[in-house]
């Protein structure tokens, strides 16, 4: 089951540790800003082999608005992952909540 998280809830969950953040947007979107400590796995790549893209249970999926990340989260749940979260509103909501965004050119890929 996919659990939705607001930006505030996601920030609190990240502070507790034990989860990773997977950004399923495209590379050019990533370069415009992403959540700290996120790992880029574009949705098309994730769809090819969800198990290979996930290093652990306990994943928060993020995209720009929450639609692609919901798709990825559902795929992860279908592949047996139990602790699966979707960031409601995506990076846009994260920024509106005043939470930090990183803007570096480096891509931390799967």
Give the SS3 label for residue 97: coil
Torsion of CA 52, 43, 97, 36, to 10 degrees: 40
23 is catalytic: no
3-state DSSP of 6-57: CHHHHHHHHHHCCCEEEECCCHHHHHCCECCCEEECCHHHHHHCHHHHCCCC
Task: Please pick, among 63, 64, 73, 75, the residue that the annotation labels catalytic.
Answer: 63
Q: 96 burial class (0-12, 13-18, 19+ CB within 10 angstroms)?
A: exposed
- Residues with active-site annotation: 63
């Amino acid at each position: 089951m996919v659990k939705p998280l607001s930006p505030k809830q996601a920030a609190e969950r990240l502070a507790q540790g034990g989860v990773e953040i997977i950004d399923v947007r495209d590379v050019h979107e990533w370069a415009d800003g992403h959540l700290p400590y996120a790992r880029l796995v574009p949705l098309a790549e994730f769809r090819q082999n969800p198990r290979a893209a996930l290093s652990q249970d306990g994943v928060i999926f993020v995209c720009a608005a929450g639609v692609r990340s919901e798709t990825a989260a559902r795929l992860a749940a279908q592949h047996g992952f139990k602790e699966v979260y979707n960031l409601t509103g995506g990076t846009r909501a994260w920024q509106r909540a005043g939470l930090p965004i990183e803007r570096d050119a480096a891509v931390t890929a799967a």
